[in-house]
């Protein structure tokens, strides 16, 4: 199925959903006194996912450490792990997911048209995206934009890029931040635009631009795929805030909660020291907070419309946030990214998940 037929299917689904939603709203109005607060038109994605038997997850077409397919089309990365985590929360099965690779320019249409249930694609949370395209459920990687150059160029600061060719991907925050940065720094901006990582990497390595700009995690990922990573340097300047996070469609609070609490589960599990290898042991369930997280106490899964062991299943199959981070982008991987601001708040970082209560 090509993209346009998928979109057509999605449009049709949207119409069916809208009619369904209308019928449900009529019944909600008629029987509103009997209906619980959140039981309204918003809860249909979870139902659709359950009846389909898998989560359809949009992700990058190829970004090492975030979403990288092997020769069998099997994805690994921080973002693909998150898709699997949601599948584990809903189905206790990390394989119950269909990956839909998307370019930067395709991602929001795919979400709003209903082609995917969830977008986990190194996407920066901004105000206009939030208002126009959907809900960001949290942040799975705090990033900032930077520049990469070849060491041979002799460039050591982004302030030396006046009138130099800059490789940029279209339809990104990258594109907009670079304009601001050159303006504020009173330098001439000479962008060279591309649509995909494959194209930009080829152009950068072929010397079509003096520098490449994107999220610094994206630069680390790209650098790792170049023929001589050591010959390239990520410059020290961080020119923007790029809180990267998963998105869902607006107006579906219940599904948004399933996805949001899956991320919170992974972060809280790290804070409690609960890992794939100890999750089933009673020690991991010893504290009241851990017992709630793992579904031994309370009915928190039921509140979401899924199994009470939802979070235990996420940790069993995918691991806590730190396990996913270290496996995909951490210091021992080719990306070599230190946790930095992505440390837990208890270690001086920004990761702070609300409690399960
Ligand atoms: N975080 C930025 C940039 C995201 C982005 O798409 N970055 C580039 C480079 S890391 C990318 O993934 N390109 C791959 C593609 O579009 O295929 C945004 O949300 O706009």
Name the CATH superfamily for 147-240: Periplasmic binding protein-like II (3.40.190.10)
Which residue has tokens 């119950």? 96
What's residue 31's pLDDT?
A: 37
Q: What phi and psi values does residue 136 have, to the nearest 5 degrees? A: -90, 130
User: Rounded to whole angstroms, how far apart are CA atoms 198 and 188?
Assistant: 26
Residue whose Cα lies nearest atom 17 of ligand 1: it is: 196
| Mean pLDDT for the stretch of residues 211-230 | 96
Instruction: Assess whether pLDDT exceeds 60 at residue 294.
Output: yes
**CB 106 near ligand 1, within 6 Å:** no
Residue whose Cα lies nearest atom 3 of ligand 1: it is: 172
Give the architecture (CATH level 2) of 38-142+245-347.
Answer: 3-Layer(aba) Sandwich (3.40)
User: Rounded to whole angstroms, how far apart are CA atoms 250 and 42?
Assistant: 9
- In angstroms, the first-to-last Cα distance of the chain is 44
Instruction: Assess whether pLDDT exceeds 90 at residue 116.
Output: yes
- Mutate which of 3, 59, 60 for ligand 1? The one with the most ligand atoms within 8 Å of its CB, which is 60
Higher pLDDT, 197 or 298: 298
If phi over 0 gives left and psi between -120 and 50 gives alpha, with beta otherwise, what is residue 186? left
Which residue has tokens 């160029």? 153
Are 38-142+245-347 and 147-240 the same fold in CATH? yes
- Mutate which of 102, 198, 214 for ligand 1? The one with the most ligand atoms within 8 Å of its CB, which is 214
Summarised one tens digit per residue, pLDDT across range 122-159 is 999 999 999 999 999 999 999 999 999 999 999 999 99
Q: How confident is the model at residue 104 (pLDDT cuts 50, 70, 90)?
A: very high
User: Rounded to whole angstroms, how far apart are CA atoms 286 and 23?
Assistant: 46
Interaxial angle between packed helices 44-52 and 78-91, expressed in degrees from 0 to 180 and rounded to the nearest 10: 90
Domain boundaries, the chain: 38-142+245-347, 147-240
**CB 242 near ligand 1, within 6 Å:** yes
167 CA to middle of ligand 1, Å? 12
Q: What phi and psi values does residue 33 have, to the nearest 5 degrees? A: -65, -25
> pTM of this prediction?
0.87
User: In this prediction, what percent of the chain has a pLDDT beyond 70?
Assistant: 88
- Mutate which of 61, 63, 178 for ligand 1? The one with the most ligand atoms within 8 Å of its CB, which is 63
337, HSE (Cβ side, Cα atoms, 13 Å)? 32
């Amino acid at each position: 199925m090509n993209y346009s037929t998928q979109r057509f299917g999605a449009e049709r689904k949207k119409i069916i959903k809208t009619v369904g939603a209308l019928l449900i709203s009529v019944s909600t109005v008629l029987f509103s006194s009997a209906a619980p607060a959140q039981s309204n038109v918003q809860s249909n994605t979870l139902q659709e996912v359950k009846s389909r038997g898998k989560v359809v997850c949009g992700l990058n077409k190829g970004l090492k450490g975030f979403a990288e397919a092997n020769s069998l089309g099997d994805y690994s990365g921080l973002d693909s792990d998150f898709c699997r985590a949601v599948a584990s929360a809903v189905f206790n099965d990390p394989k119950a997911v269909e990956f839909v690779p998307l370019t930067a320019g395709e991602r929001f249409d795919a979400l709003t048209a209903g082609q995917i249930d969830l977008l986990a694609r190194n996407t920066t949370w901004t105000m206009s995206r939030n208002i126009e395209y959907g809900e960001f459920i949290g942040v799975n990687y705090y990033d900032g934009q930077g520049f990469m150059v070849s060491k041979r160029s002799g460039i050591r600061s982004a302030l030396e890029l006046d009138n130099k060719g800059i490789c940029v991907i279209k339809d990104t925050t990258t594109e907009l931040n670079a304009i601001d940065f050159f303006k504020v720094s009173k330098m001439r901006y000479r962008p060279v635009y591309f649509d995909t990582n494959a194209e930009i990497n080829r152009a950068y390595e072929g010397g079509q631009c003096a520098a490449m700009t994107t999220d610094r995690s994206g630069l680390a990922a790209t650098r790792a795929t170049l023929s001589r990573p050591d010959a390239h340097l990520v410059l020290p300047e961080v020119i923007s805030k790029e809180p990267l996070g998963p998105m869902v469609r607006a107006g579906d609070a219940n599904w948004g909660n399933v996805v949001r609490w899956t991320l919170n589960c992974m972060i809280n599990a790290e804070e409690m020291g609960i890992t794939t290898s100890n999750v089933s042991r009673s020690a991991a369930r010893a504290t009241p907070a851990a017992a709630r997280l793992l579904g031994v106490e309370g009915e928190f899964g039921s509140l979401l419309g899924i199994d009470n062991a939802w979070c235990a299943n996420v940790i069993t199959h995918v691991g806590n946030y730190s396990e996913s981070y270290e496996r995909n982008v951490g210091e021992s991987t080719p990306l070599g990214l230190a946790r930095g601001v992505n440390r837990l708040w208890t270690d001086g970082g920004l990761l702070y998940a609300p409690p399960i209560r």
